Amino acid sequence: MNGDQLMDETQKREPLDVVVIGAGFAGLYMLHKLRALGMKAVVLEAAENVGGTWYWNRYPGARCDVESLEYSYSFDDALQQEWHWSERYATQPELLRYINHVADRFDLRRDIRFNTRVASAARDEQNNLWTLSSEGGETFTARYCISAVGCLSLPSLPAFKGRDSFAGRLYHTGLWPREGVDFTGLRVGVIGTGSSGVQVIPHIAQQAKHLHVFQRTPHYSVPAKNRPLDPGETARYKARYPEHREAARQSAIGIAGFPVPTQSALEVSAEERTEAYGMGWERGSTGYTRIYTDILKNEVANATASDFVKMRIQQVVRDPAVATRLTPRYMIGTKRLCLDTQYFETYNRENVVLVDVSEAPIDQITEHGIRTTAREYELDAIVMATGFDAITGALKGIDIRGSGGQSLAQKWEAGPRAYLGLMTSGFPNLFLITGPGSPSVLSNVVTSIEQHVEWIADCLAHLRQHGIARMDADLAAEDRWVQTVNEAANATLLPKGNSWYLGANVEGKPRVFMPYAGGVGNYRVVCDQVVIDGYRGFLLS
């Protein structure tokens, strides 16, 4: 079939009820819910299979930093009871097996179009429809469009001079080759020491002949203390699954197992704090920053938690000069806290060298390797662990046109604006799962995804029941919500970090704190109250 015939075929079809973009955790559950509502829906997915972020991030050591028993769907009790997690923190392959299992178990694949990357989405106001076009030229028309594109799905590749001239192999952790990579005997350079770098570096160090780590910012990391899950422990947890899930839904970050702090770090003695931080360190979780109420709110309190981790780094890393270069200088938690397995220990290996590119930045990539302003490093392979154009990148990468042809990328030029992170004014019938202004990346994202999917499904049922064809966010409500998001962020230390939460990692991206920092439980209450108030702040017609 040629392109024109394909267009004819697709245009002949009846409009769908819903088209969903993305077949990761969000898109799959959304499809399942839409089916339950009896809606005709199709999911468009760029990859050749399900999984979203867990499809692409296949680098060695890729692992979740939320515990497996929590980082999983809660919507089906049989599913959560029957699925067996082998480790406390699931590896990428295990997560991908799980997502594939869910797709099969609920027979989701028949409504997913793989290898279909959405290029544009245009609103046809007259007919109250969205038309999506794929890069391959297929079109899909639907009454509603739901974005499930994910917050960390567009890899960020810094535009280093000479990037294409490198004669060796170049990888990005978020676009890892399916067949894997063998670094045996190679001289490897890793750029970036965020969560991905911290996970991949110990693995590459074990294989490579030599590893140079190019670090711009030393990051905080606490040991994951990962381990196989004991069947007895799992059974006990599963026996109380509904309670745990409910606790997660009401919690600050969508995780039931984190301590709920009750004291300020400043109201206890130094000895007591050291003991608590020591226990937090041994527990092995990003809950470390939640040991006291004010670690993420008060600079003095934060310093006590930061100092403990700095001290641990100094103890682990044998060479004092290297330890100093690995010691963070920002406030813990203001950039995402990493969880690691043998990360700092890796710098004690003979074949690993830390290159501080804050002192001598990377000047360019050459045919032979990486040249900093100080010298050139000859390499056979370069791994960019340079992160993502987070939260807005994937959406802005699609040419989305709302009412009157307004472009979403233009509307969000100075930073994203969305009411509750669920809809953005001027783009009727377009819903955003974990959109900007929702807890998303500040939470166990599966908890947040489920809340959004269920809210949207209930909303679509309500619209159908009341014969409402068009829904949009009211601009004034959206402005107030953006203000609320800013206030929530400013009540914490989070905007003080140079983080991807703020877009600081992508050159030219506006510095706006994007997720809602007011807590998953509080956020849920707001969303529910909006519904009780007759979809307050939304325009229904």
Residues that bind ligand NA7 in the complex, under the rule CB under 6 A: 152, 158, 173, 191-197, 216-217, 336, 357, 362, 385-388, 500, 505
Query: And the tokens for 65?
Result: 């930093």
- Contact 510/391 with Cβ under 8 angstroms? no
234 or 342, CB closer to ligand NA7?
342
Q: How far is the CB of 164 from ligand NA7 (least distance, A)?
A: 16
- 374 backbone φψ class: left, alpha, beta (φ>0; ψ -120 to 50): alpha
Q: How far is the CB of 67 from ligand NA7 (least distance, A)?
A: 15
d(CA 302, CA 263): 13
d(CA 456, CA 448): 12
214 or 538, CB closer to ligand NA7?
214
CB atoms within 10 A of CB 330: 18
Q: How far is the CB of 262 from ligand NA7 (least distance, A)?
A: 27
131 or 334, CB closer to ligand NA7?
334
Q: How far is the CB of 92 from ligand NA7 (least distance, A)?
A: 11
- Contact 524/452 with Cβ under 8 angstroms? no
- State the amino acid at position 488 in one-letter form: A
74 or 196, CB closer to ligand NA7?
196
For residue 239, give every residue at least 6 positions away whose Cβ sits within 8 Å of its Cβ, in sequence order, or none. none
d(CA 393, CA 409): 9
68 or 193, CB closer to ligand NA7?
193
d(CA 181, CA 469): 50
Q: How far is the CB of 196 from ligand NA7 (least distance, A)?
A: 3
68 or 173, CB closer to ligand NA7?
173
d(CA 347, CA 345): 5
Query: And the tokens for 37?
Result: 């509502």
Q: How far is the CB of 252 from ligand NA7 (least distance, A)?
A: 17
198 or 456, CB closer to ligand NA7?
198
The residue whose Cβ lies closest to ligand NA7 is: 194
CB atoms within 10 A of CB 82: 11
Q: How far is the CB of 342 from ligand NA7 (least distance, A)?
A: 17
d(CA 534, CA 527): 11
